[in-house]
Structure 1
Amino acid sequence: MTYILISPCKNEGDYIEKTLISIRNQTVPPAQWIIVDDGSTDNSVDIIEKYLPSMPYIKVVNRPKGERRVGGGVIEAFNTGLAAVDVADYEYLCKLDVDLDLPPRYFEILLDRMAADPRLGTASGKAYYMHPTTNERKSELCGDEASVGMTKFYRRACFEEIGGFVAEVGWDGYDCHRARWFGWRAISWNDPDLQFIHLRPMGSSQKSIYRGRIRHGKGQFHLGAHPLFFMLSSLYRSVRQRPYVTGTLFSIYGYMKAWLQGEERFGDQDMTAFIRAYQLRALRSGKAEAAEWALQQRRDVLGV
């Protein structure tokens, strides 16, 4: 059960050492770890080079210098790393951010669960962050029906069938809908051995966390989110995730701006209808039941 890690890296000097140590401490190490230096101007590469003697499976791939751009830019860097290996040699692959602190059995557990369920296409643990004022550990509120964007662990067959990731903001929600569309299960678990620390708050890596919330709203429009579902889920997050009310307002602004400007959605009408049917059912019966219902609908159609 071999797996590879592919990590975009852009000025991650404040975080990457903890990620390197947490990968070195994995009970099942990767067969290869491709780190794509996306034009870093800090000491990121120097830190990586310090660990090469003890982590010979690391390979650094360089891209030209450019402005940090989450969403599309991150996936473009990931695709550069993907092109540097023959993925057919591996059963599993993972898009891994380098601002994470993973528990030591993280990949061992994911591999075991993938082996136990041949239709499990993508999986992850749950992301937490440290509150900046109270230093309390807080959940990033990731649903059980999707793998999280900062550590997307994929069965290669599923990844290839969905066509990889779209290079736009919102890619990390759309891919799980695509997986269900092709009859694969997407899931994340909150087991203690799968809980990891996101060293940088989600959505804060470009400009500010408020720009991140605007991108989130824009991404939700692109993947085809139903307006009612988006509004209600945004209100839910307004009391659960900082920056509370203002962050929610920026997210709504991003969604409405994309709508009013007539931006295109990722999928065709059938795909958008599939996503919205799942979301409306989730409002009635919860995301977990809705995800299983949507998955079964597609499996009946596909005969898998």
Structure 2
Amino acid sequence: MRFLIIIPAHNEEKNLPLTLDSLQKQSCKDFRVVVVNDGSTDRTSEVISRYTENDVRFTTINLQKSEHQPGSKIVHAFKNGLQTEPVDEFDIICKFDADIILPENYLEEVGKAFTNNQTYGLVGGLLYVEKDGKWIYEGNSNKHHVRGPMKAYRRECFIQIGGLRETLGWDNIDSILLEDLGWKEIVIPGLQVKLIKVKGADYTIRPADYYGRYFYFLGLNRFLAYTAAAKEALKIKSPLFFFNIVGSYERCRSKKIELKITKEEQKAINARRWNMLKKKWLKM
């Protein structure tokens, strides 16, 4: 299996070398890397040059800095990188972040999973973060979901779902759509990917406005959005948080902001979320 790996990068001079070094150390050597320099103002371009000048598998493109919109910015950069390569010459399309460290067998094991299981559409490992000198499971998502920093898609699946959407929630939209089309999303627990978090940052805590917009752009109907809002509010035991999330969601609805999914895809997403709700909460 041949890999096409797209890595969006903005001001990642410190982290990017760790990511690219981990790729050079892979036991699987059949890959192509496109690093998308998204308007960096630090020495990211110099870092990239050290690899592109010495390893023909690495290439790059430079963009003007994308507008900072959660979700859409990174997908916009990814799509620009994807356009530089003939997708049909690759078996697996990867979207990796510029601040991860992959185990040396990552590509090899992902390739084996796809080869041995023709229904696998999306495969990845688990994210680990450093805490008190130890690498521990991040725990920001269920262990059956491939996180955004390390997505690997079978090419046919990637094309069938229409690629990635430039919107908040893209890394959940892809999972739902591919499963609705009969593909499977698989996490390989033994593949531990290190996420180099900003010191002191906590990605598990998001502002209410983020959640409201996220639920809207995911295409959730009111009932499911309000239910999801209640779940987030319960986590921090704050009724006000619920109302703030709902307020953000309703503002998006009143503005009729365009969604990046079709009506049919929206129906599929709501159906999947409803089934998940019945299974987890209502035990139906």
Counting strand residues as a fraction of each chain, which structure ranks higher? 2
Map Cα deviations across residues 74-132 of structure 1 (whole Å, 9 max, x no partner): 1111111111000111111101111111111111111111111111111211222234x
CA distance in 1, matches of 2:186, 2:241: 26
In the alignment, which of 204, 214, 217 is matched to residue 219 of structure 1? 214
- Is 74-83 or 269-278 further displaced after alignment? 269-278
Name stretches of at least 5 consecutive residues in structure 2 with no aligned partner.
none
What is the 5 A alignment of 1:82-97?
82-97=82-97
Displacement of 1:183: 1.6
Q: Does 1:272 align with 2:263?
A: no
Which residue type is aligned with residue 156 of structure 1? R
Retained in 1: the 8 A contact 2:7–2:35? yes
Deviations 1:21-73 (A, max 9, x none): 21112111342101111111101121222234553310011112455444212
CA distance in 2, matches of 1:213, 1:135: 31
Please report how far the alpha carbon of residue 171 of structure 1 lies from its aligned counterpart in structure 2 after TM superposition. 1.1
User: Which TM-score applies when normalising by structure 2?
Assistant: 0.83
**Residue 109 (structure 1) aligned with residue 91 (structure 2):** no
Q: Where in structure 2 are the equivalents of 1:188-203 lying within 5 Å?
A: 188-189=187-188, 191-192=189-190, 194-200=191-197
1:88–1:247 Cα change, 3 Å: farther
Q: Which has the higher helix share?
A: 1
Equivalent position SS for 2:81: helix
Q: In 2, Cα distance between the equivalents of 1:3 and 1:86? A: 12
1:220 CA displacement: 2.6
Task: State which drifts further: 21-30 or 258-267.
Answer: 258-267
Give 1:210 shift.
Answer: 6.9
Aligned pair in 2 of structure 1 residues 47, 245: CA closer, same or farther (>3 Å)?
Answer: farther
Check the 8 A contact 1:224/1:266 in 2, yes or no: no
Q: 2:34, 2:61 within 8 Å by CA — same for their partners in 1? A: yes
Change (3 A) 1:209 1:235: closer
TM-score normalised by length of structure 1: 0.78
Structure 1 portions without partners, runs of 5+: 291-304
Number of positions where the alignment pairs a residue of Structure 1 with one of Structure 2: 278
User: Aligned equivalents of 2:241 and 2:102: distance in 1?
Assistant: 27
Structure 1 counterpart of 2:195, which letter?
A: H
Report the aligned-residue RMSD.
Answer: 3.3
In the TM superposition, residue 213 of structure 1 has moved relative to its aligned partner by 6.5
Residue 269 and residue 65 in structure 1: after superposition, are their counterparts in 2 closer, same or farther (change >3 A)? closer
Identity %: 23
Query: Is the CA contact (8 Å cut-off) linking 2:226 and 2:246 kept in structure 1?
Result: no
- For 1:125, what is the secondary structure of its paired residue? strand
Determine the structure 1 residue equivalent to 2:13: 13
